[in-house]
Structure 1
């Protein structure tokens, strides 16, 4: 990949109970190339919003080249609206005072600023193939045995 590459990232998060065991799913596609990778991970106790946001963070971390043009497709209004409506930048300016998941938002902004990121909301559970697959990956990750802790959640 190089600076002219375009990557599509599809993400979803899930938790069985809120909080409860949770997971995320990621699909990464290199536009115009036969490249597709899937990733997922589960945690023993977390929230749906944390998994939605962590999926985006982990996907951005996997990009190898700075300033990659990437479109992230997510069914999370929490994540997409926070960025597209500028809320997260105001939260950052105010030190994330009284905001949930500041650890993840700080990590998100670090990764977000390394690339040319566009976030696009997609309706969940609406037969969008990649979104449905990400949901399956996230749910299956949450169902695994001996899940690690979501340190940021459990230390709040």
Structure 2
């Protein structure tokens, strides 16, 4: 997370989850923490995240009860709902950068991921949304559940 000339970092390790869920969670948590900032440029190496937000996919999924264009359930509706809620009424620009290409903030994120990936299982959190398959029944948008480090 970077706000003008101020910088802050946060990382968490989870026992079971996916890369896409962590990209979404990182974006949502960052925007929630800077909720008083109306104009934000969110830089990510996740084309999935940028495309879903800039092309309106996530909004359509929510409008269609978390079903995609094929009628299948969209993945991670709990986090998409959370992200859509936090960007509502704000000027958030989602900007893609190539991963592992020397972008300083992206390289910092990769370093943080490396640090938390080395946590022992007892130090890792449980991604409750992953455990319940990101159930759409809990969105619009229920706060993300975190179960403590002991499970």
TM-score (norm 2): 0.79
Query: Residue 24 of structure 2 contacts residue 79 of structure 2 at CA under 8 Å; is this kept in 1?
Result: yes
Q: Which of the pair is proportionally richer in helix?
A: 2
Count of aligned residue pairs for this structure pair: 126
Aligned to 1:95: 65
| 1:114 Cα deviation after fit | 4.7
Aligned to 2:11: 40
Show structure 1 runs of 5+ residues with no match.
Answer: 1-27
| 1:77 Cα deviation after fit | 0.6
Which of 42, 58, 83 lines up with 1:72 in the alignment? 42
Q: Secondary structure at the match of 2:14?
A: strand
Aligned to 1:21: none
| Runs of 4+ in structure 1 over 4 Å off | none
| 1:139 Cα deviation after fit | 2.3
Q: Which of the pair is proportionally richer in strand?
A: 1
Q: Supply the RMSD in Å over aligned alpha carbons.
A: 1.2
TM-score (norm 1): 0.77
Show structure 2 runs of 5+ residues with no match.
Answer: 68-72, 134-151
Query: Residue 44 of structure 1 contacts residue 142 of structure 1 at CA under 8 Å; is this kept in 2?
Result: no
